Amino acid sequence: MAEGPMKVVAVNGSPKMGNGTTAMILAFFLEGLRESGAEAEIFYTKQLMINPCLGDFRCSTHTPGECIQKDDMQMLHPKLCEADIWVFATPLYVSGMAGPLKNLIDRIVIPLGEPHIELWDGHCHHPLRKEVKGGKVVLVSSCGYWELDNFDLLVEYMRAFCEHAEREFAGALLRPHGPALMPMLERGAAVSDIFEAAREAGQQLIEQQEIAAETLARVSRPLLPLEAYVR
């Protein structure tokens, strides 16, 4: 990691932007990062124009590090390259991430990579150019289903993305049965520990370089029984 304040770039892929459960968990997490000295910027895919990847590999073979498309990735990509921590936030859509965020993620790694393939632990891999810095990646997500395992495919995807990006997957702040959170908060239910855990997760990542499993579990804890939620 670089000396000085940690640089964080967060991207929220929710069409609700600063509203909703995903945004609430993300806000407390970023608050914890900043309280521990990190410099954090947040961007919303709804406010960005980011085209799908063309898949022609020109950004790797002809103009290394630079995509030929002229859109908001020209602004965002250098910020991501400089950041120590990437935070991707999204509601769970059909067991995956929101489409605009997937477009953005597809555009990140290929410009950083070499055009040739190497074997890493028996798997094909495009190595990143030597000047590309490493770092950490954090996922923040919420969903309307009660069970935590609904996030399994999304978490597995983010782990695979980190392999491609040669970054460490630092953990996932997951909030199942998210639609129950705001009504319970408004009725005065004891749910503030969830937000405090999200803040602590940010503090731990900066101060201890990792997020405790217990802290992540508190973010995801059940709010009410399954049968009551379904009713």
**In order of start, what are the domains of the chain with their CATH numbers?**
7-230 (3.40.50.360)
pLDDT tens per residue across span 68-86: 999 999 999 999 999 999 9
Alpha-carbon distance 202 to 33, whole Å? 4
Query: Are 97 and 80 within 8 A, CB to CB?
Result: no
- Cα–Cα distances (Å) from 149 to 45, 153, 188, 191, in that order, read 26, 9, 28, 21
What is the rounded CA–CA span in Å between residue 194 and residue 219?
Answer: 5
**Residue 163: how many CA atoms within 13 Å on its side-chain side?**
12
Question: Which pLDDT score is estimated for 104?
Answer: 95
What per-residue confidence (pLDDT) applies to 153? 98
Total residues found in the chain within this entry: 231
- The pTM (predicted TM-score) of the whole model is 0.94
Block mean pLDDT (10 aa), the chain, length 231:
82 92 96 97 96 89 88 94 97 95 93 89 88 94 97 97 95 96 90 96 97 98 94 90
Closest C-alpha to 143, from 135, 153, 134: 153
Amino acid at site 78: P
Residues 6 or more apart whose CB falls under 8 angstroms from that of 64 comprise 111, 129
Whole-number Å distance between alpha carbons of 226 and 145: 10
The sheet that has 136-142: what strands, in order across it?
39-44, 7-12, 85-91, 136-142, 168-175
73: left (phi > 0), else alpha (psi -120 to 50), else beta?
alpha
- Say what the pLDDT of residue 29 is: 98
pLDDT of residue 64: 84
Predicted local distance difference test score (pLDDT) of residue 1: 42
In this predicted structure, what is the pLDDT of residue 4?
82
